[in-house]
Amino acid sequence: MLFNSIEFLVFLPITFVLYWFMLNKDLRLQNLLVVVASYIFYGWWDWRFLSLIFISSAVDYSIGRKLASVTKPKARKYLLWLSLALNLGFLGVFKYFNFFVDSLKDAFHIFGADIELTTLNIVLPVGISFYTFQTLSYTIDVYKGNLKPSDDPVEFFAFVSFFPQLVAGPIERATNLLGQFSEPRVFDYHKAKDGVRQIIWGFFKKIAIADTCAVFVNDIFGSYADQSSGMLLLGAFYFAFQIYGDFSGYSDIAIGTAKLFGFDLMTNFRYPYFSRDIAEFWRRWHISLSTWFRDYLYIPLGGSRGGRSSAVRNTFIIFIVSGFWHGANWTFIVWGALNAIYFLPLLLSNRNRRNLDNVANGSLWPSFGEVRQIIVTFLLTLLAWVFFRSPDISNSFEYLRILVFSGSWLVEFSYLSSVPMILIMVGLEWIQREKTHPMQIEKLSSIARLSVYCLIVFLTIAHVSSTNQEFIYFQF
C-alpha cells in the first residue's frame, strides 16, 4: 500500500479510530491491531510475501527466547548463525541470486568460456532489506546481551511489521522500538499534531519535489546521449532532490504516522545537503542504515582500533556493502566505493568528525568558507548519484563523459519548472535546520502558522498527478 494512495487515506483513519477509540484500554489488543493492520498494509501489495515476514518474525522470536536459556557459547553462536542464515538467505535468493549468476556468466565469458546458468523469474519483495536488518539487529543484540529477549509474540511481531516504517524505514532497533509496545500509550494531542505536520511536510517533499523532478530525471537520463552538458548537470541535480524528497519524504510520513499512534521513531535525515564534508553527509543521510552498519559491521570488524590500515579496510567494506544493500547492480557497488574514496582523506587526516554541529550554528547566514564546503560536498554527491541512477556502469561513464566534454551548457527553459519548489524546500529547511522538521514553527503567530501550513498543502495538491509514483526505496 502506498502512502500517496486513496487506499492509505482510507486505511489510516480507520486504523486510528479503532486503535484509540475502541481498543485504547487494552494494550495487548492495540498491539494485535498493529500486527493485523501492518499485515494488511504490506499484503495489499502482494499477500504471498507475508509468509516471508511471518517466518522471519517467528524464527527470530523463537531464537531470542532460546538464547535466554542457552549458556554454552558454541550453542549460542549456532543460534545466531541460524538467524543470519535464514534472514540473509531470504535476502540473497530474492535480491541477489540473479546478480551472482549473471556476474559468474560474465566472468567466464571474459576468459572465453560461455556457460549456461539459469536465473530465477522472481519478484523482489518490497522492503525486504529493511525488515531483514530490523529483525537481525534484535537477534544480534540479544546474543550480545545488550537486550532482553521479548516474551510476548504479539509485541515482537508488531515491532517487526510496524506498518509506518515497514517497507522503507527508518530501520528501527529493538532497543528503541520494541519496548514501546510494552508501555501503556495515552493519546498525546501535541505529539499527534506534530505528527500531522511532519506528514504534511513529507507529502510535500514526495509529491511537489520528488515526483515532479522524476519526470525530468527520467527524460534526461533516458536520452542522455542527445543532451547538452547543461542538461545532464540539471538531470543529476534533479535526481539529487528526487531521491532526497522521495526517501526523506517517506521517512517524514512514517515518523509522523507513528506519532499518531504514540510511537517515537528515530530521525532518518538531518538536512544532509547542508553538510560541509562527506563524513557529515553520512551522519545526516539515511541515519538508520549508516548507524546499523557502524554498530553491526564496522565496529565488530575492529573499526579503527587496528590502526589506519584497518580503518581504511573497514571503511571500504561498510561503504561497498552499503552500496550492495541498495541493489544487485555494479552501479551501487561503485557508488559505495566512490563514497569511501571521498571519505578516505577525512579519515586519514582525522577530520572525519570535525563538523558535528549544525552549519552556521547560531547564525542565519553561513560563512563564505561554509558555503564553499557545502557546494563542494554537494557536487561530490551529484557525481556519485549519477552511478546510483544509471542502469549500468557503461551508461554511468558515458553520461559523465558527455557531461564533461559536450561543450554546450545550454538548458531548456521548460525543464526549470521544478526549481521554484526546490528553492522553497531548501529555504524552509535552512531556516528550520535546528528543528526536527521545518513545520515546527511554534514561534510564529497562529495566523502565520496556518498560512504556512495552507501554502504547503496547496502546493502539494497542485502537484498531484493522475499517476502515483512509487517510492524509490521500495525497490531496496
- Under 8 Å between Cβ of 330 and 102: no
- Please report whether residue 272 resides in a domain: yes
Residues 141 and 203 in one domain: no
**Cell triple for 58:** 517467528
Q: What gap in Å lies between CA 391 and CA 218, rounded to an integer?
A: 11
Does this model's pTM top 0.75? My answer is yes
Residue 333 lies in a domain: no
| Residue 21 and residue 43 in one domain | yes
Cβ neighbors of 434 (< 8 A, separation 6 or more) are 358
Report pLDDT for 284.
Answer: 96
Whether residues 66 and 140 fall in one domain: yes
Same domain? For 266 and 415 the reply is: yes
Q: Please write down the HEC assignment for all residues of the chain.
A: CCCCCHHHHHHHHHHHHHHHHHCCCCHHHHHHHHHHHHHHHHHCCCHHHHHHHHHHHHHHHHHHHHHHHCCCHHHHHHHHHHHHHHHHHHHHHHHHHHHHHHHHHHHHHHCCCCCCCCCCCCCCCCCHHHHHHHHHHHHHHHHHCCCCCCCCHHHHHHHHHCHHHCCCCCCCCCCCCHHHHHCCCCCCHHHHHHHHHHHHHHHHHHHHHHHHHHHHHHHHHHCHHHCCHHHHHHHHHHHHHHHHHHHHHHHHHHHHHHHHCCCCCCCCCCCHHHCCCHHHHHHHCCHHHHHHHHHHHHCCCCCCCCCHHHHHHHHHHHHHHHHHHHCCCHHHHHHHHHHHHHHHHHHHCCCCCCCCCCCCCCCCCCCHHHHHHHHHHHHHHHHHHHHHHCCCHHHHHHHHHHHHHCCCCCCCHHHHCCHHHHHHHHHHHHHCCCCCCCCCCCCCCHHHHHHHHHHHHHHHHHCCCCCCCCCHHHHC
- Dihedral, CA atoms, 422, 424, 430, 432, nearest 10 degrees? -130
Range of the structural domain that residue 96 is part of: 6-187
Tell whether 1 is covered by a domain: no
Residue 340 forms part of a structural domain:
no
pLDDT at 117: 66
pLDDT of residue 125: 80
The residue among 187, 207, 241 that closes a domain is: 187
Residues 182 and 239 placed together within one structural domain of the fold: no
- The pLDDT value recorded for residue 398 is 96
Angle between helices 153-161 and 27-43 in degrees, nearest 10: 40
Query: Distance between CA atoms of 461 and 84, rounded to whole angstroms?
Result: 44
CA distance 117 to 131: 30
Residue 308 lies in a domain: no
Residue with cell 565496529: 299
- Are residues 355 and 279 in contact, defined by beta-carbon separation less than 8 angstroms? yes
How many domains in the chain?
2
**Does 26 share its domain with 141?**
yes
Which one of 139, 170, 187 terminates a domain?
A: 187
| pLDDT at residue 1, as a whole number | 76
Exposed e or buried b for every residue in 38-61, given b needs 16+ CB within 10 A? Answer: bbbbbeebeeebbebbeebbebbb
Does residue 98 contact residue 120 with C-beta atoms inside 8 Å?
Answer: yes
Res 109: pLDDT: 57
**Residue 321, number of CB atoms within 10 A of its CB:** 14
Residue 412 lies in a domain: yes
The confidence score (pLDDT) of residue 120 equals: 66
Domain annotation covers residue 396: yes
Grid cell 499485515 in the structure block, residue: 39
> Do 147 and 264 belong to one domain?
no
Residue 337 lies inside a defined structural domain of this protein: no
Q: Are 363 and 265 in the same domain?
A: yes
Give, in degrees to the nearest 5, the angle at Cα 4 between 466 and 434. Answer: 125
User: Among all residues, which ones are annotated catalytic?
Assistant: 326
What was the pLDDT predicted at 111?
67
C-beta atoms surrounding 66 within 10 Å: 15
Do residues 16 and 142 touch, judged by C-beta distance below 8 A? Answer: no
CB 276 within 8 A of CB 217: no
> Looking at 187, 212, 246, which one is the last position of a domain?
187
Cα distance between residue 20 and residue 43, in whole Å: 23
pLDDT for the residue numbered 95? 81
Q: Are both 182 and 36 inside the same structural domain?
A: yes
The C-alpha atoms of residue 275 and residue 472 are separated, in whole angstroms, by 23
Q: Point out the residues of the chain with pLDDT beneath 70.
A: 98, 100, 102-114, 116-117, 119-120, 466-468, 473-476
Residue 156 is which amino acid? F
Nearest to 338 by CA among 291, 292, 385, 378: 385
Q: What is the C-alpha to C-alpha distance for residues 159 and 60, in angstroms, rounded to an integer?
A: 12
Same domain, yes or no: 89 and 136: yes
Rounded CA separation 134/149 (Å): 14
Q: What is the pLDDT of residue 110?
A: 65
Q: Indicate if 236 and 175 belong to the same structural domain.
A: no
